Amino acid sequence: MSSGATDPVLVLGGGVAGLAAALRLSQAGHEVVVLEAGPTPGGVVGTVAVDGYLHERAASSFLGSADDGAAALCDELGVAVQAAAPAARSRWIYLDGALRRLPRNPLELVTTDLLTWRGKLDLVREPLRPGRDPAHAGDESIHAFAARRLGPEVARAIVAPFVTGIFAADAHAVSLAAGFPKLAALDADGGLVRGALRQGLRRLAGVTASSPRRRHPRGLLAPVGGMQAMVTAMAERLGPSLRCGVTARALVASGDGVEVVTDTGRVRGRGVVLALPARATAELVAGADPVLAARLTGFQRAPAAVLYLGYPATAVPRAADGFGLLVAQGEAARLLGVVFESTVWPGRAPAGHVLLRCIYGGARDPGAVGLDDDALVAAARADLARTLGVSAAPTHVELIRWPAGIAQYPVGHRERVAELDGRVRASRMVLAGADYHGVGLNDVIADARRVVREVAGWRA
């Protein structure tokens, strides 16, 4: 018996990518069934309250600048969002053994000790640099791009730490085109300043009186009460279409559709959205498409550990100023970065206390995730003493480990994904999630529109 047009679209994975894809498919008129192995939806994203502290298990915020991202989805779902506190405007980088403020305006750029005068001159010369030679216009690392357009000091002192903050990786190993497509587009338009001017003029020319007005604020945002509010709202909107506690074991072709073999039986669909980590997807499709499975096993994720530490506010006075800090590569601290969580989002710690979110591991230091709990807390105490001058013992500790944490985008990633997207299309499959078209919440939520377009193509 072959699958017919009345069968649902199956979505494997009830994380944010799968939930967003299912919502958009449902809105486009498709019947959907979401299968999630865990007891609750959300995947790695979720919020936990412990001893008066509020912890995000993974992602904790998003930028409001994405028109089709998390802020727009929250607005659609009726989930209230809040902006980061004004006290979080400063950002710090630990470089050459000292904590240094990231410049926020031209005056601070002149006086910053992050760069020498040569580095500052390299930075301001960016608009004068020639465009990239078309003969050498293939993908490159974000570090190579930054050194080419902004100078080697900016690449080391500013760009590389921020790449670590996103990918927990060495900037030499992260693709410009896949990891930072907006920068790649500016580069293709003549450079950062010239490209921004050209793109701004084109946008201005395209604005009409009927253009929709942005309803959500810009800047850094988070759902009131944490990310769990957004996950819960998506799950409630999907209703019985979402089935938790169902583990997919294998995927098999079935006439003009697919069947998913689960631990409770078989589920038939007219096609499937694979919103799981690439390596988990590889195990599912190994029998149906061994070549696809082999290619998916080549996708890498970096392990990460999120360590929450609570202190009396008087023990960490520097946490009152700024979003947090990033540690440049090569420093003595193993710490990748710290978010001053209760400064950015007031109310996430009991009165008179602060909550620090410390990140360890990543592709830069995967061995850190293998430390036992006591050793990781001890490393954090030593690193916080070095970077922030904290000598007190924490009064609150919570550790979350993600062995398959952060998707990695090496040079050439975009081309590899495009080839796989074409391969699975003929089999009524769509790849979705952080391994492919963007690692951030905004990316995986916006990618749901592409999923809808891919499914629409099955009708042809």
State which H helix or E strand residue 84 sits in. Answer: none
Please give the pLDDT value at position 6. 80
Residue 217 DSSP label: -
Give the predicted TM-score (pTM) of the model.
0.92
Cβ-count burial of 426 within 10 angstroms (0-12 exposed, 13-18 middle, 19+ buried)? exposed
Q: What percent of the chain has pLDDT over 90?
A: 83
| pLDDT over threshold 60, residue 213 | no
Confidence of residue 67 (pLDDT cuts 50, 70, 90): confident
CB contact set of 76 (below 8 Å; sequence gap of 6+) = none
Q: How confident is the model at residue 209 (pLDDT cuts 50, 70, 90)?
A: very low
Pick the residue with more confidence: 126 or 215? 126
Query: Measured between alpha carbons, how far is 199 from 209 in angstroms, rounded to an integer?
Result: 19
pLDDT of residue 459: 67
- Give the pLDDT confidence of 226-236 residue by residue, as tens digits: 999 999 999 99
What single letter denotes the amino acid at residue 157?
A
The answer to whether residue 135 scores a pLDDT higher than 70 is: no
Q: What pLDDT is attached to residue 3? A: 45
Handedness of CA 455, 263, 299, 331 (dihedral sign): positive
List beta partners, residue 220: 63
Candidates 351, 320, 346, 326; CA nearest to 83 is 346
98-115 pLDDT, tens digit each = 999 999 888 888 899 999
Backbone φ and ψ for 311, nearest 5 degrees, come out as: -140, 155
Query: Average pLDDT in the 72-80 region?
Result: 96
Q: What is the pLDDT of residues 411-433, one digit of tens each?
A: 999 999 999 999 999 899 999 99
- Residue pair 222/323 in contact (Cβ under 8 Å)? The answer is no
Which neighbouring-strand residues pair with 87? none
Query: In the chain, helix, strand, coil percent, each to 5?
Result: 40, 25, 35
Average pLDDT over residues 62-77: 92
Q: Does the pLDDT of residue 338 top 70, yes or no?
A: yes
Q: pLDDT by residue (tens digit) across 366-382?
A: 999 999 999 999 999 99
Chain mean pLDDT for the chain: 92
Query: What is the H or E stretch that residue 58 is in?
Result: none
